[in-house]
Amino acid sequence: MGKPVLMDFFAEWCGPCHQQTPIIDELKAKMGDRVDIQKIDVGVDSEQTRQYAARYDIQFVPTLVIEKDGQLVRKLVGVQDLGTLENILKPLVEQ
Report the predicted TM-score, pTM, of the whole model to 2 decimal places: 0.93
Range of the domain at 54: 1-14+38-78
Is 4 tagged catalytic?
Answer: no
Q: Of the residues 6, 8, 10, 17, which is catalytic? A: 17
Asked if residue 51 belongs to a domain, the reply is yes
Amino acid at 85: L
Asked if residue 33 belongs to a domain, the reply is no
Q: How does DSSP classify residue 12? A: T
Asked if residue 6 belongs to a domain, the reply is yes
Which pLDDT does position 89 carry in this prediction?
A: 97
Distance CA 25, CA 23 (A): 5
Which pLDDT does position 50 carry in this prediction?
A: 87
| Beta bridge pairs of residue 77 | 63
pLDDT tens digits for range 2-47? 899 999 999 999 999 999 999 999 999 999 999 999 999 998 888 8
| H/E stretch holding 10 | strand 5-10
Distance CA 79, CA 77 (A): 7
Is 46 tagged catalytic?
Answer: no
**1 pLDDT more than 80:** no
